[in-house]
Amino acid sequence: MTDDEQAAGTAYTDVQPTGTAYTDAQIALVHAVFDAARTGDTATVASYVDRGGPVDLTDDTGDTLLILAAHHEHGDLVRALLDRGADTTRVNDRDQTALVAAVLHGAGPIVEHLLAAGADPELGSPNAHAVADWFTLPEMTELLEREV
């Protein structure tokens, strides 16, 4: 078991702040989970959520685990998070959604999963349609229009 898997195995209740500050171990756990989302470590992120961690854990820039997984094109992780109830309507501090991130990267299968889970192509600024148009991504435009 890797250090990240061990960290993600910690119960979510162990990540609650003590008084007004988080411990070094709590901070390390959260960083490990975000790193796992960026690298596509589905087992670590799923374990964290399955043990009570918030599926919509958000970093200091507003990125959720789902947004990070979509941005880094980790389809298996996107599906795992959606299966665990990840919110497709969340926007980060740059007003981007997971769907916008997937469209930007031309990640068709991820776009399809997000749309099937109810992601709204009109959310975000720019929204998914505008991103597909701006970057001339006809495959993404087709997927988005097919789901309307």
> In the chain, what are the domains?
3-146 (1.25.40.20)
pLDDT in tens, 104-148: 999 999 999 999 999 999 999 999 999 999 999 999 999 999 864
Q: What is the per-residue pLDDT for 22?
A: 85
* pTM (two decimals): 0.87
Which residues pair with residue 137 across a beta bridge?
Answer: none
pLDDT in tens, 47-58: 999 999 999 999
Residue 71 has pLDDT above 90, yes or no: yes
